[in-house]
Structure 1
Amino acid sequence: MNAFQKIFDWKTYIFTALAVISFSTFVAILFGQTIPGIILTFFKVAGVYVILGAVFIFALAWFLKARPHNRPKEYTVVPFDVFGKKSKIEGIRTMFKTHDVAWSFMKQYKEMYPLYNFALVSDLPKTDKPTIFRYI
């Protein structure tokens, strides 16, 4: 064997080239598909949980805000004349225990007395003024 054959031993170069190609393929697959796939899957699942958590928090806040905390015990129907001043109509019922019954009577009174307007009013705890629930 001469010096040229020792320097250019083809078997060594072939094995080195195959090792470099296989390692680079492994690294390319690892950093190009495996790791990004794991990270994308994690963030997709995490995103779903973040959105579901936000929806749950919003729904809970809305539920706590929307439901009346102190329901009135009594409702009063107050008639107003054409000038917007409180008035009294003899023979009508004005005190009610439930909102629905008071609203029903208010609609009936509006048909019977078209020149009057009616307000559904109640005194809520922790307030100085009566609260108007409906006005027709």
Structure 2
Amino acid sequence: MKSKLSMDQIVLFGIGIITNIFITVFGQIIPNAVTGFFREIGGALILVFVFAFAFTWFLKARPHNRPKKYNVIIFDVNSQQIEIDGIRTEFRNHDVAWSFMKQYKADYPMFNFAMVSDGKNSDKKTIFRYI
């Protein structure tokens, strides 16, 4: 016995198929494509921000004009600038000046030492280290 489909059954069956297509297209296919796109764009934007931050940090951290010479200034316990015979006070390298300052501090513990340099755009000397 064959059952004949009524018009109501055909319409309901058609509505069910169309509803299933809409749910699949708008619930799975389009959201998956859009979220995949935005996930890739989001990753690219984060990478761009990381490189921009690193680049600006590098430009800020790098000294733009390094001094050509450094001087060591000696201060006594009253914070008066003095000179001690036999001590080298002019250097062309930051690391060498810092090394000599540490040695001087060990040899003369009652004195304070400052590493300074003349700035190109400044009348005053710039203190780099003070011990």
Please indicate the TM-score interval, normalised by the length of the shorter structure: over 0.9
Match of 1:33 in 2: 28
1:70 aligns with 2:65: yes
Match of 2:117 in 1: 122
Pairwise CA RMSD? 1.3
Task: Tell which structure's C-alpha radius of gyration is larger.
Answer: 1
Matched residue type, 1:113 = Y
1:93 aligns with 2:93: no
Structure 2 counterpart SS, 1:82: coil
Match of 2:19 in 1: 24
Q: For the residues of structure 1 that align with 2:5 and 2:33, how far apart are their CA atoms?
A: 40
1:82 aligns with 2:68: no
Superposed CA deviations along residues 18-54 of structure 1, whole A, max 9, x for unmatched, are 2211111000011111111111111111111111111
Aligned pairs (5 A) from 1:26-65 = 26-65=21-60
Matched residue type, 2:51 = F
Q: CA deviation at 1:11?
A: 4.1
Using the aligned pairs only, state the percent identity.
Answer: 51
Structure 2 counterpart SS, 1:32: helix
In structure 2, runs of 5+ residues without a counterpart are none
In structure 1, runs of 5+ residues without a counterpart are 1-8
Q: For the residues of structure 2 that align with 1:20 and 1:107, how far apart are their CA atoms?
A: 87
Q: For the residues of structure 1 that align with 2:8 and 2:123, how far apart are their CA atoms?
A: 95
- When structure 1 is superposed on structure 2, of 65-74 and 33-42 the one drifting more is 33-42
1:104 aligns with 2:84: no
Structure 1 counterpart SS, 2:20: helix
TM-score by structure 2 length?
A: 0.92
